[in-house]
């Protein structure tokens, strides 16, 4: 289903989003750390260059003022104090190899502390300076502000000698410069630069990183929330769509008709079954007033029935013609606030129920008639035996008297005819339980036709057979169905005065699995008024008919779970159709049975 795939594509697991946000946070943290480390290296490099420039400037001033004599420390003090007034310089110190402080600026700085610190680490500084040439380190200043300290040997004459030669003391100097060189030989200068601007920039970078992380967290949280909202929306939408589809399928699959009408009593929706009842397509029925279909004021009925109508029988007349009964149930349709929105109508087809009710009434009537007939037949049969015996006695006694003997013979024949009627009546009143076995219906039909072969030939009636090949067998009582087919064939034969044609057909019905036997004749037919009475006992259109033949056929077919129907037009012949259910386990084609069953019949 495409819609389901779209929902699945939009669904994003929460863990994936969380992992993505965490990954981005880690990337930002690592990137920020690397940027800060890189910036710190650049700051240190810049501070080192700045510090070396200032130190070389001091060395140049000392070399210029004291080119051939030992420098005046007080003059160097003034120079450093002037330089210390610059905002970026925290202090300048000059001390000798034993840690004695010679120059310290600014002037208010605590000399004791500086002396103590330099005395403690002068030996290690000397070793590091011999190895590296320049030492840089971070130092806390007064007030908690950090400083960047640059320490190197104080060499006013180093501009003449490369650094490597300076470290190795392999240099040649002018004799005039020897006093200055001797004085500066063990001197070490320390320059402390303020880090306020750089620290502020670093803090801003860190704050920016935290801000970006916070923005990312907020965006990630917002994205998660948005995804939850979207996911919930599509989940609800999908659930509603599934529920709608399920409800529509349930409504469309209902065996009863369902109609909803609005407040104006116009049809809003209806299912397939309701459209079938009303005899039109759904699109043509929507918008019609319900009063145009039912000749009822449903709103008034709802008030009379306390707002609910249950199983009210009505008749409708669809456009296709005819009328048929329906059971109508109705109830008001309200919204969540209790405001009336319209009506809901439920329609149930009563045709099958009416048919079943008719069958029940007929069965009850036939049962009562059968009990009465059995009692009457029993009471009549005993005196009939006596009457027949006396008639035969008079036939022998009146031998030679043809007229009187003829009367006696007529009495015997009429008694025999009456006895046959009584036998049929008893068979109808007390039917035998069918002994069902798998049989091929075409063989039973052929056997019944064979029994009537002489009567058919004498009357000039031709028989046309149409059997579908490879038909399954049916579980029937062979003797009872032989009697049923004989009764139907005799009824067709007697309906034709002179020549005619009887057509016997047998075919399969797929849904539900059944066999249909049709016996058609070209006789005089049955008038429309009598069609509903042909299966009633004692109803006959023939002068000498007992009216029990078709009633017995109907009884036999019903006892086998089948159905029989009649179609006829006066002067156009009659067709009887018998439908018998078959089971797949008896689906052996009757053609494989050979002639064994026919021989048994």
The pair of structure tokens assigned to 444 is 């039973």
pLDDT of residue 595: 36
pLDDT at 166: 45
Q: Would you say residue 9 has pLDDT above 90? A: no
End-to-end CA, the chain: 61
Question: 394-450: per-residue pLDDT in tens?
Answer: 777 777 777 777 777 887 777 777 777 777 666 666 666 788 889 999 999 998 888
For tokens 């310089």, what's the residue? 89
Instruction: Pick the closest to residue 89 from 3, 158, 190, 167 (CA basis).
Output: 190
Is the pLDDT at 142 greater than 70? The verdict is: no
Q: CATH code for 40-196? A: 3.30.450.20
Q: What number of CA atoms fall less than 13 Å from residue 486's CA on the CB side?
A: 14
Residue 8 has pLDDT above 50, yes or no: no
Encode pLDDT of 519-534 as tens digits: 999 888 888 887 877 8
For residue 153, count other CB atoms closer than 10 A to its CB.
Answer: 21
pLDDT at 519: 92
Q: Is residue 331 within 8 Å of residue 306, measured between CB atoms?
A: no
Taking 80 as the threshold, does the pLDDT of residue 148 lie above it?
yes
* Fold agreement (40-196, 254-349): yes
Containing 315, the helix (H) or strand (E) segment is: strand 309-316
At 307-336, the pLDDT tens digits run 677 777 777 776 666 677 888 888 888 887
How far apart CA 171 and CA 161 sit, in angstroms, is: 7
Report which of residues 594 and 249 the model is more confident about: 249
Is residue 448 within 8 A of residue 482, CB to CB? The reply is yes
pLDDT of residue 105: 81
**pLDDT of 5 above 50:** no
Q: Are 340 and 307 in contact (CB under 8 A)?
A: no
Confidence of residue 163 (pLDDT cuts 50, 70, 90): very low
Is 187 or 590 the better-scoring residue by pLDDT?
A: 187
Residue 262 has pLDDT above 70, yes or no: yes
Which pLDDT band holds residue 162 (cuts at 50, 70, 90)? very low
pLDDT value of residue 503? 92
Per-residue pLDDT, 424: 67
CATH no. for 354-429: 1.10.287
pLDDT value at position 505? Answer: 92
What is d(CA 172, CA 160) in angstroms, rounded to the nearest whole number? 9
Per the document, the length of the chain is: 601
| pLDDT band at residue 168 using 50, 70 and 90 as cut-offs | very low
Instruction: Tell me the C-alpha distance between 566 and 495, whole Å.
Output: 14
What are the tens digits of pLDDT across the range 74-100?
Answer: 888 888 888 888 888 888 888 887 778
CA distances from 577 to 95, 308, 554, 562 (A): 134, 44, 11, 10
- Whole-angstrom distance, CA of residue 178 vs CA of residue 68: 7
pLDDT in tens, 332-382: 888 878 787 888 888 888 877 777 777 777 666 666 666 666 666 666 766
Q: What is the rounded distance in angstroms from the CA atom of residue 150 to the CA atom of residue 138?
A: 9
**Domain ranges across the chain:** 40-196, 254-349, 354-429, 437-600
Q: Find the mean pLDDT for residues 182-207.
A: 81
How many whole angstroms separate alpha carbon 97 and alpha carbon 183? 11
More confident residue, 505 or 125: 505
Q: Is the peptide bond before 512 cis (omega within 30 degrees of 0)?
A: yes
CB of 283 within 8 A of CB of 300?
Answer: no
| Higher-confidence position of 301 and 493 | 493
User: Which of 46-55, 60-69, 237-246 shows the lowest mean pLDDT across its residues?
Assistant: 60-69
pLDDT at 520: 92
pLDDT confidence of residue 600: 38
Least confident of 101-115, 160-174, 263-277, 315-329: 160-174
Percentages (nearest 5) of helix, strand, coil residues in the chain:
55, 20, 25
Q: Which residue has the higher pLDDT, 228 or 598?
A: 228
Number of Cβ atoms within 10 Å of the Cβ of 398: 15
- Bond prior to 106 in cis (omega within 30° of 0): yes
Q: Mean pLDDT over residues 574-601, rounded? A: 58
DSSP labels, 163-207: HHHHHHT-----GGGHHHHHHHTT-EEEEEEE-HHHHHHHHHHHH
**Side by side, which strands form the sheet with 257-262?**
267-270, 257-262, 340-349, 324-334, 309-316
Question: Which 3 state secondary structure label does DSSP give 460?
Answer: coil
- The C-alpha atoms of residue 164 and residue 166 are separated, in whole angstroms, by 5
**Which CATH code, of 3.30.450.20, 3.30.470.20, 1.10.10.60, 3.10.310.30, is assigned to 254-349?**
3.30.450.20
SS (H, E, C) 17-72: HHHHHHHHHHHHHHHHHHHHHHHHHHHHHHHHHHHHHHHHHHHHHHHHHCCCCCCC
Cα–Cα distance list, 420 to 321, 376, 393, 395, 415 (Å): 46, 14, 21, 21, 9
Instruction: Supply φ then ψ for residue 135, to 5 degrees.
Output: -120, 135
CA distance 451 to 447: 6
Report which of residues 107 and 133 the model is more confident about.
133
CATH code for the part of the protein at 437-600: 3.30.565.10
The confidence band for 302, taking pLDDT boundaries of 50, 70 and 90, is low
Percent of the chain with pLDDT over 90: 4
Q: Please, are residues 538 and 544 in contact by the beta-carbon 8 Å criterion?
A: no
At residue 300 the predicted structure's pLDDT band, cuts being 50, 70 and 90, is low
Looking at residue 12, what is its pLDDT?
52
Mean pLDDT of 190-210: 80
Per-residue pLDDT, 598: 34
Return the higher-pLDDT residue of 7 and 34. Answer: 34
Q: Where are the alpha helices (DSSP H) in 97-162?
A: 111-132
What number is the average pLDDT over the span 134-154?
80
Please, are residues 316 and 324 in contact by the beta-carbon 8 Å criterion? Answer: yes
CB-based burial label for 278 (10 Å; 0-12, 13-18, 19+): buried
Per-residue pLDDT at 107: 59
Q: How far apart are CA 577 and CA 563, in angstroms?
A: 8
């Amino acid at each position: 289903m495409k819609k389901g795939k779209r929902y699945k594509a939009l669904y994003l697991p929460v863990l994936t989003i969380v992992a993505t946000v965490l990954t981005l946070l880690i990337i930002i943290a690592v990137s920020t750390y690397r940027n800060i480390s890189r910036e710190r290296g650049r700051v240190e490099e810049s501070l080192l260059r700045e510090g070396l420039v200032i130190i070389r400037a001091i060395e140049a001033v000392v070399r210029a003022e004291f080119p051939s004599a030992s420098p005046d420390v007080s003059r160097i003090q003034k120079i450093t104090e002037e330089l210390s007034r610059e905002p970026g310089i925290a202090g300048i110190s000059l001390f000798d190899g034993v840690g004695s402080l010679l120059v310290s600026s600014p002037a208010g700085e605590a000399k004791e502390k500086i002396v103590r610190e330099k005395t403690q680490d002068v030996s290690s500084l000397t070793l590091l300076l011999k190895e590296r040439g320049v030492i840089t380190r971070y130092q806390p200043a007064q007030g908690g502000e950090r400083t960047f300290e640059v320490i190197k040997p104080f060499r006013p004459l180093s501009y003449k000698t490369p650094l490597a030669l300076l470290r190795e003391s392999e240099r040649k100097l002018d004799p005039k410069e020897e006093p200055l060189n001797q004085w500066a030989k063990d001197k070490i200068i320390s320059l402390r630069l303020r880090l306020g601007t750089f620290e502020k920039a670093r803090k801003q970078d860190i704050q920016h990183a935290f801000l970006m992380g916070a923005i990312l967290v907020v965006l990630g949280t917002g994205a998660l929330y948005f995804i939850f909202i979207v996911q919930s929306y599509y989940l609800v939408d999908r659930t509603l769509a599934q529920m709608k589809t399920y409800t529509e399928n349930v409504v469309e699959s209902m065996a009863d008709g369902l109609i909803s009408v609005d407040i104006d009593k116009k049809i809003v929706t209806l299912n397939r079954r309701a459209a079938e009842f009303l005899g039109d397509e759904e699109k043509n029925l929507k918008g019609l007033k319900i009063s145009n279909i039912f000749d009822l004021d449903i709103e008034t009925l709802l008030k009379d029935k306390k707002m609910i109508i249950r199983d009210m029988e009505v008749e409708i007349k669809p456009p296709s013609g005819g009328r048929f009964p329906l059971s109508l149930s109705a109830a008001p349709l309200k919204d969540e606030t209790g405001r009336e929105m319209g009506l809901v109508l439920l329609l149930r087809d009563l045709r099958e129920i009416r048919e079943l009710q008719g069958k029940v009434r007929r069965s009850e009537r036939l049962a009562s008639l059968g009990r009465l007939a059995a009692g009457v037949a029993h009471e009549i049969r005993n005196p009939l035996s006596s009457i027949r015996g006396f008639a035969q006695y008079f036939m022998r006694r009146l031998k030679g008297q043809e007229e009187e003997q003829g009367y006696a013979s007529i009495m015997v024949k009429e008694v025999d005819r009456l006895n046959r009627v009584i036998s049929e009546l008893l068979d109808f009143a007390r039917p035998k339980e069918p002994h069902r076995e798998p049989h091929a219906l075409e063989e039973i039909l052929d056997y019944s036709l064979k029994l009537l072969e002489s009567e058919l030939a004498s009357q000039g009636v031709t028989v046309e057979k149409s059997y579908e090949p490879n038909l399954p067998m049916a579980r029937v009582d062979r003797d009872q169905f032989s009697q049923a087919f004989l009764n139907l064939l005799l009824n067709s034969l007697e309906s034709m005065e002179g020549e005619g044609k009887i057509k016997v057909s047998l075919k399969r019905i797929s849904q539900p699995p059944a066999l249909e036997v049709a016996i058609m004749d070209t006789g005089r037919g049955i008038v429309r008024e009598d069609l509903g009475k042909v299966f009633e006992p004692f109803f006959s259109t023939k002068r000498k008919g007992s009216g029990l033949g078709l009633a017995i056929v109907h009884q036999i077919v019903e006892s086998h779970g089948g159905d029989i129907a009649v179609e006829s037009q006066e002067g156009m012949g009659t067709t009887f159709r018998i439908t018998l259910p078959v089971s797949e386990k008896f689906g052996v084609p009757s053609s494989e049975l050979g002639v064994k069953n026919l021989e048994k019949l």
